[in-house]
Amino acid sequence: MTMKRKRVLKVVTLCTLVTVAIVMASAALAQIYALDDDLVYHLADIEDYSGYLVTDREGYIAVFYKGHGQPAYITHTPLSTLRGVDREDVKNGIIVATRTELMELLEDLGS
C-alpha cells in the first residue's frame, strides 16, 4: 500500500469515528431531554392535577403526576435524612389527591 493510500485510509477512518461519536452523543442527549419533558424545577410550578405519587427517585423524594412514568419534580431531600417510617412510606409510594395535600406532605417530610 502506498503512503498516500494509507493516509486516505486514516482520514476516512477518523471521519467515520467522529461521525459515529456525534451520532451517539446526539442520541444520548435526546434521551436525557426526553426524560425531562415533564420535570419542573420549582415546587411552585407543579400543576394542579388529579392526584400525585410521592416516591423515591435515585435516593431523593420525587413527585409524579398520578399515572405518569416520569417525575414532575425531584426534591433536594435525600431519603437517608428521613425517619425510618417516613423513608419506608416514600419508598412504597404515597398517593395524595390534591396539590394542597402534596405541599403539606412535602413540608412534613422536609422538616
pLDDT tens string 47-95: 888 899 999 999 999 999 998 888 999 998 999 999 999 999 999 999 9
pLDDT confidence of residue 34: 44
pLDDT confidence of residue 35: 47
pLDDT confidence of residue 15: 84
Q: Looking at the 3D structure of the chain, how many domains does it have?
A: 2
78 and 106 both lie in a single domain: yes
105 and 54 both lie in a single domain: yes
- Greater confidence, 34 or 52? 52
Over pLDDT 70: what percentage of the chain? 83
Residue 26 belongs to what domain range? 1-35
CB-based burial label for 46 (10 Å; 0-12, 13-18, 19+): middle
75 and 104 both lie in a single domain: yes
pTM, two decimals, is 0.63
28 and 51 both lie in a single domain: no
